[in-house]
Amino acid sequence: MTSTLFTGIAELVTNDVLLEGADQSEHLGALSEAAVVVQDGVVAWVGPVSGAPPADARQDVGGRAVIPGFVDSHSHLVFAGDRSQEFAARMTGVRYDGGGISTTVDATRAAGDDDLRALVAARVAEMRAQGTTTVEIKSGYGLNVRDEARSLRIAAELTAETTFLGAHVVPTEFAGRRSEYVELVTGEMLAACAPHARWIDVFCEPHSAHAFTEQEARVVLSAGRDAGLGLRVHGNQLGHGPGVRLAVELGAASVDHCTYLSGEDVEQLAAASDTTVATLLPGVEFSTRSPYPDARRLLDAGVSVALATDCNPGTCYSSSIPFVLALAVREMGMSPAEALLAATAGSAKSLRRDDIGVIRVGSRADLTVLDGPSYLHLFYRAGVPIARALDPVGNHGR
Ligand code: NIG
Ligand code: FE
């Protein structure tokens, strides 16, 4: 057992509202001139450097800020192929409707195991290099038993937060046979995928002919719950719809996108704030030229809010939480502190985790270091790659 004492932390954001001596004014539990002791990947001590206990090794981070590693609670990293032309078309006004997903399904099915694994691993490494220490990864570009199970097996090699999204869209070979596809998803496909998944998700969207209706989504989620999976929902992305209502009704951990919300949706989310998190994905609005969700309205109503990338080849091929944070403060009415909290503790809550998104004794030592003296530099220096996940055994240099 080797312990490491990290010093030279100009500002430590802990998200720990109980931490003695920390500034709680923005709920970030920030401590200046701080130190952290890490042992076996777990935080063993947090406090002012003046009171730090001895440790086996010592690392000085050089007057930088340290924050909880970003928790990217929504991504679709298991895919092959390229849809940059679709992005270019959208920039000139073409509307997103989910139709391009079939292009990625074809490319993903055609990819060899090793090639697909290498693509996913590179994307996870890209996230880590930008400060993300936990990522949720969905299937959803296999859409048959073999390729959905394969996608989840590969994802599970890289994260514990794996999500079965067989109900992403109805694949083209099932055109005109929607109910047969729902039967496959809830039957043989679920049986093959559940052993590799923690969560089940569904694209519930009446504004896309490719996605699932409220009733289909309810059937899919109920089957997933019966198979022991936690529930997540893609909802209210392309227009007003039933996603939020369904997520709250079924006690889903998260309803994601939430771009178009009625007053009733907001009320329901506020009432369910202990159970269901509204996960906002503004990289999608950026990449589809859509209006941004109204985060201010949600926060003011008392809704639990998370921020994530949705990294995927269609609606947002960005793996960058700092980019998402910039959009959240500039376009969605969030303060820097609210945005940072949403991409750490908020997204951890959406994964029903209390060991990440926070730096306190007993939490995972998922530390992200910023090339700057305070968390505000994440926003102040928009577009500059100042955040990176810190190796807990040391080696903080680039
Ligand atoms: O979260 N909305 C559904 N699924 C993805 C996009 C998938 C794609 O276009 O490839 C999303 O936006
Ligand atoms: Fe998504």
Q: Ligand 1 centre and the CA of 14: distance in Å?
A: 32
pLDDT, average across residues 104-122: 98
Residues 211 and 322 occupy one common structural domain? yes
pLDDT score recorded for residue 102? 97
Q: Ligand 1 centre and the CA of 75: distance in Å?
A: 9
pLDDT score recorded for residue 391? 80
pLDDT score recorded for residue 241? 97
Tell me the backbone φ, ψ of residue 230, rounded to 5 degrees. Answer: -80, 160
Domain coverage including residue 112:
70-350
Whether residue 314 contacts residue 87, with contact meaning beta carbons closer than 8 Å, is answered with: no
Residues 176 and 313 occupy one common structural domain? yes
> For ligand 2, a single-atom ion, which residues have Cβ within 5 Å?
310
Residues 12-43 have pLDDT tens digits of 999 999 999 999 999 999 999 999 999 999 99
Tell me: pLDDT of 240 over 60.
yes
Residues 261 and 367 occupy one common structural domain? no
> Which ligand has an atom closest to residue 314 CA?
1
Residues 293 and 230 occupy one common structural domain? yes
CATH number of the domain within which 197 lies: 3.20.20.140
Name the percent of the chain lying above pLDDT 90. Answer: 98
Nearest CA to ligand 1 atom 3: 203
Q: Which of ligand 1's atoms lies nearest the C-alpha of 310?
A: 1
Half-sphere exposure of 141 (CA within 13 A, CB side): 32
Tell me: pLDDT of 334 over 90.
yes
Residues 190-211 have pLDDT tens digits of 999 999 999 999 999 999 999 9
Residues 74 and 61 occupy one common structural domain? no
Whether residue 319 contacts residue 130, with contact meaning beta carbons closer than 8 Å, is answered with: yes
Name the percent of the chain lying above pLDDT 70. Answer: 98
**Per-residue confidence band for 395, with pLDDT thresholds at 50, 70 and 90:** very low
∠ Cα 103 121 336 (to 5°): 90
Location of structure tokens 């139709």: 99
Residues 210 and 195 occupy one common structural domain? yes
pLDDT score recorded for residue 394? 43
Residues 56 and 178 occupy one common structural domain? no
Tell me: pLDDT of 110 over 50.
yes
Q: Is 397 domain-assigned? A: no
Which of 137, 139, 168 gets mutated to test ligand 1 (max ligand atoms within 8 A of its CB)? 168
Residues 292-320 have pLDDT tens digits of 999 999 999 999 999 999 999 999 999 99
**Per-residue confidence band for 118, with pLDDT thresholds at 50, 70 and 90:** very high
Spatial separation of the C-alpha atoms in residues 362 and 326, rounded to whole Å = 30
Which residue type sits at 367? L
pLDDT, average across residues 73-97: 97
Q: Ligand 2 centre and the CA of 126: distance in Å?
A: 18
Q: Which of ligand 1's atoms lies nearest the C-alpha of 169?
A: 3
pLDDT, average across residues 105-123: 98
Half-sphere exposure of 23 (CA within 13 A, CB side): 11
Q: Ligand 1 centre and the CA of 378: distance in Å?
A: 27
Location of structure tokens 């994440």: 378
Q: Which of ligand 1's atoms lies nearest the C-alpha of 101?
A: 10
Spatial separation of the C-alpha atoms in residues 8 and 63, rounded to whole Å = 5
Spatial separation of the C-alpha atoms in residues 252 and 266, rounded to whole Å = 15
Q: Which of ligand 1's atoms lies nearest the C-alpha of 257?
A: 1
The number of domains in the chain is 2
Residues 336 and 376 occupy one common structural domain? no
Which two three-digit tokens encode residue 393?
Answer: 């055994």
Secondary structure (H, E, C), the chain: CCEEEEEEEEEEECCCCCCCCCECCCCCCEEEEEEEEEECCEEEEEEEHHHCCCCCEEEEEEEEEEEECEEECCECCCCCCCCHHHHHHHHCCCCCCCCCHHHHHHHHHHCCHHHHHHHHHHHHHHHHCCCEEEECEECCCCCCHHHHHHHHHHHHCCCCCEEEEEECCCCHHHCCCHHHHHHHHHHHHHHHHHHHCCEEEEEECCCCCCCECHHHHHHHHHHHHHCCCEEEEEECCCCCCCHHHHHHHHCCCEEEECCCCCHHHHHHHHHCCCCCEEEECHHHHHHHCCCCCCHHHHHHHCCCEEECCCEECCCECCCCHHHHHHHHHHHCCCCHHHHHHHHHHHHHHHCCCCCCCCCCCCCECCEEEECCCCCCHHHHCCCCCCEEECCCCCCCCC
Q: Is 232 domain-assigned? A: yes
Q: Is 19 domain-assigned? A: yes
Q: Ligand 2 centre and the CA of 234: distance in Å?
A: 6
**Per-residue confidence band for 392, with pLDDT thresholds at 50, 70 and 90:** low
Whether residue 256 contacts residue 248, with contact meaning beta carbons closer than 8 Å, is answered with: no
Lining ligand 1 with CB less than 6 A are 76, 98, 100-101, 104, 203, 234, 237, 284, 310, 312-315
Residues 119 and 133 occupy one common structural domain? yes
Residues 231 and 327 occupy one common structural domain? yes
Which two three-digit tokens encode residue 15?
Answer: 């998200």
pLDDT, average across residues 84-107: 96
Residues 267 and 162 occupy one common structural domain? yes
Q: How much is the mean pLDDT over the chain?
A: 97
Q: Ligand 2 centre and the CA of 324: distance in Å?
A: 14
pLDDT score recorded for residue 398? 36
Spatial separation of the C-alpha atoms in residues 33 and 380, rounded to whole Å = 21
pLDDT, average across residues 231-238: 98
CATH number of the domain within which 24 lies: 2.30.40.10
Q: Ligand 2 centre and the CA of 362: distance in Å?
A: 31
pLDDT score recorded for residue 1? 75
Q: Ligand 1 centre and the CA of 39: distance in Å?
A: 39
Nearest CA to ligand 1 atom 7: 314
Which of 75, 97, 101 gets mutated to test ligand 1 (max ligand atoms within 8 A of its CB)? 101
Tell me: pLDDT of 390 over 80.
yes
Q: Is 139 domain-assigned? A: yes
Tell me: pLDDT of 397 over 60.
no
Residues 188 and 214 occupy one common structural domain? yes
Nearest CA to ligand 1 atom 8: 314
pLDDT score recorded for residue 393? 53
